[in-house]
Amino acid sequence: MAASSNSSLSGSSVSSDAEEYQPPIWKSYLYQLQQEAPRPKRIICPREVENRPKYYGREFHGIISREQADEILAGVEGAYILRESQRQPGCYTLALRFGNQTLNYRLFYDGKHFVGEKRFESIHDLVTDGLITLYIETKASEYISKMTTNPIYEHIGYATLLREKVSRRLSRTKNESRKASVTSEENTPVEKITSLVRRAALTQNDNHFNYEKAHNFKVHTFRGPHWCEYCANFMWGLIAQGVRCSDCGLNVHKQCSKYVPNDCQPDLKRIKRVYCCDLTTLVKAHNTQRPMVVDSCIREIEARGLKSEGLYRVSGFTEHIEDVKMAFDRDGDKADISASIYPDINIIAGALKLYFRDLPIPVITYDTYSKFIEAAKISNPDERLEAIHEVLMLLPAAHYETLRYLMIHLKKVTLHEKENFMNAENLGIVFGPTLMRPPEDSTLTTLNDMRYQKLIVQILIENEDVLF
């Protein structure tokens, strides 16, 4: 919240109370400061103001100068008014008294009120949040700057008991599916544990596949007091106090999120579906090497469909493919795709291709797309193969493993070319645009790159034993 007043607030050092403060598990110093912050005091205009915007109340004083606003607010900490600019009619300003001076903020409205990134339903909420932020940043600027220097994130011995509870629950039977074990935790005390504790428990799980995954942080408004699971400090403010990982539920300050390692352990309760879900998120949530859709479909195809004419080229009925998709979304690895339910193997092949097409980030990621295309353009076969191998090493681990497994399968398909009429080139035509898409949504780029997409997949199939 940056004020437009000529005088700026200088952040004072942490008080002696803060220096002597010995925090418990969750540090309450910032919470105490929030409780001490000035409360907003609306100064009502004594006269009826003409042309008052309908979304402002009687705190609007019309066109007055900064000096007049300063006189109205003088001596009342937390007092505020709204005024219309003398210099720019039609532009509105929040005048707020804090730190024995009047701060002026350009005020905007687009259905919600704001002076910066945060949007508020009311001016009162905006001022309340602003006063909290100003007070804490003034009183504890040095404390805040050092919050990330001694995080609890890697030192969570205080959570041993809860962690052991979760470990026992997660490992209670090797044969029970991960989905069933996690979803059955609802309405138990374990449900209330922090994602930090949950992450520690999962890290100790022997069956865990250690793929690196960045957290999917999004700005979040917490109802009631919340503490950062990275630095253990209170997350201050009225709204948008921090960020939450939408995959694992980790709650941290926005500034702390920059320091959190890429060790997201997605929670199945937060993963609503299988299709259209990020590949790494899905495999970490289900604790598998590859997406269960890939394993299940390939297993079924290799059991009864390798000799099927036009495998992967011939389409199955769209509505039946959608049925398979819904079955995976609903039942996960328990989805029944056997011949008794779907006798046409092209339905299963179509469901597998649809899974790859629906990925928000393709198997061959947007980041590596252009490098693969450039590698495909190399004329010397040996140099081209080496270049492709180098780019493969840039893929995220879960993407690499999925691609490797698929190429081994497609190589098996080509071994039955006499029956299915599908060689590596034909499969390249089918899977090229399915496995890789240009970062920009350009029809022209897609058309220009199609032959290189086909060539990349063809080379991956023909050389899977060398490249992987």
The pLDDT of residue 182 is above 60: no
Given 229, 264, 299, the domain boundary residue is 264
Nearest in space to 283 (alpha carbons), one of 273, 292, 270, 295: 292
DSSP per-residue codes, 408-438: HHHHHHHTTHHHH---HHHHHHHHHHHHB--
> 155 pLDDT band (50/70/90 cuts)?
low
Judge if 433 and 367 occupy the same domain: yes
Task: Tell me the pLDDT band of 154, cut-offs 50, 70 and 90.
Answer: low
Structure letter (DSSP) for residue 187: T
403 and 280 fall within a common domain: yes
Domain boundary among 124, 144, 164: 144
- Quick check: helix, strand or coil at residue 102? strand
Q: Do 249 and 134 belong together in one domain? A: no
Strands (E), 9-153: 41-42, 60-63, 79-84, 92-98, 101-109, 113-114
Using CA atoms, how far apart are residues 25 and 228, in angstroms rounded to an integer? 11
Please determine, for residue 57, whether its predicted confidence score (pLDDT) is greater than 50: yes
pLDDT above 90 for 10:
no
Listed range (53-57, 184-188, 249-253, 272-276) with the worst mean pLDDT: 184-188
- The two tokens of residue 355 are 């899974």
Residues 231 and 348 in one domain: no
Whether residue 360 is found in the same domain as residue 315: yes
DSSP-derived pairing of the beta strands 251-252 and 92-98: unpaired
CATH code for the domain of 303: 1.10.555.10
Of 307 and 198, the one with more pLDDT = 307
Residue 468: the pLDDT is: 93
Mean pLDDT over residues 314-342, rounded?
A: 95
pLDDT at 176 over 60: no
Assigned domain for 356 exists:
yes
Same domain assignment for residues 380 and 253? no
| Domain range for 237 | 215-264
- Let me know whether 365 and 259 are in one domain: no
Q: pLDDT tier at 196 (50, 70, 90 boundaries)?
A: low
Question: Within this chain, do residues 232 and 283 fall inside the same structural domain, yes or no?
Answer: no
Same domain, 275 and 379: yes
Residue holding tokens 């063809």? 458
For 267-292, the pLDDT digits (tens) are: 888 888 999 999 999 999 898 999 99
Which residues are within 8 A (CB) of 301 and not within 5 positions of it... i.e. 6 or more apart?
A: 311, 345, 348, 349, 352, 409
Q: How far is CA 414 from the centre of its chain?
A: 39
The per-residue pLDDT of the chain, averaged, comes to 85
**What is the pLDDT, as a whole number, of residue 171?**
43
pLDDT tens, residue by residue, 97-119: 999 999 999 999 999 999 999 99
How many CB atoms are closer than 10 A to CB 30? 23
* 399 belongs to a structural domain: yes
Q: What is the pLDDT of residues 457-466, one digit of tens each?
A: 999 999 999 9
Residue 288 and residue 179: Cα distance in Å, rounded? 11
Q: Are residues 291 and 339 in the same domain?
A: yes
Give every CB contact of residue 319 below 8 A, 6+ residues apart in sequence. Answer: none
Percent of the chain residues topping a pLDDT of 90: 69
Cα-to-chain-centroid distance, residue 171: 27
State how far the Cα of 180 lies from the Cα of 164, in Å rounded to an integer: 19
Q: What's the structural domain count of the chain?
A: 3
**pLDDT bracket for residue 165 (50, 70, 90):** very low
**Straight-line distance from the first to the last Cα atom of the chain, in angstroms, rounded to the nearest whole number:** 52
Among 144, 163, 196, where does a domain finish?
Answer: 144
Res. 148: pLDDT tops 90: no
Q: Is the dihedral of CA 428, 434, 435, 441 positive or negative?
A: positive
DSSP-derived secondary structure letter, 317: P
pLDDT per position as a tens digit, 239-255: 999 999 999 899 999 99
